[in-house]
Copies of this chain bind each other. A is one copy, B any other.
Amino acid sequence: MGKQSYHHGDLRRALLDAAAEVIAESGPVALSLRDLARRAGVSHAAPAHHFGDKAGLLTALATEGYERLYAELQASGGEGFLGLGVAYVRFALANPAHFEVMFQPSLFHTDEPVLSAARERARAALYAGAGELTGEAGQADAERLAGLAGWSMAHGFAMLKLSGSMPQSHATPDQEARAVLGQLAAPRPA
């Protein structure tokens, strides 16, 4: 604790972490740069040095979110749709603040190139799992629909879980996600 030197060391990191904490606890409405500075033990004008303004900070947070999502999706490589979906949910539950900000474009600078690149990378990794859901390869339209269906399901599951809307379950989140997402690929009774 306490800063040993005039310089913080990694103020940027500290501010992003503090922001994620505040948002996870109280939502983006409660966020203020002055409060983050206070939490990081730094003067209230310091954040502007790193992010310019509030939207700048949230742009950085969203970018980091897409990078982490991409990493999580990659780490599930080869496990097909179900693996990707479970990874998507795991990311969202582990990074609720990032996840929330990523899908609220009014909060950040949507035209930031670094952000766009990170988002595009994550999206590509996500769509890679769509083909597997359709029996016949190359059926572009069927593939598109199956991809959207899978993404919608994983996204909705994570959202509902995070907002506390889901009934409690005895299973771990991973198990529950797997069971629910599995409904999409499961054969239906005649």
Contact = CB atoms under 8 A, between A and B. Distances in A.
Interface of A: 26-30, 103-107, 134-136, 145-146, 148-149, 151-160, 163-166, 179-190
A183 B135 contact: no
B157 A106 contact: no
Please state the number of chain copies in the assembly.
2
Contacts of A159: 103, 155-156, 159
Contacts of A184: 149, 153, 183-184
13 contacts: A103-B159, A103-B165, A104-B163, A105-B163, A105-B164, A135-B189, A149-B180, A149-B181, A149-B183, A152-B156, A156-B159, A185-B188, A187-B190
Given A149-B183, A151-B156, A156-B156, 14 more contacts: A26-B106, A27-B28, A27-B104, A29-B107, A103-B159, A135-B189, A135-B190, A148-B180, A152-B153, A152-B154, A152-B156, A152-B157, A153-B156, A185-B188
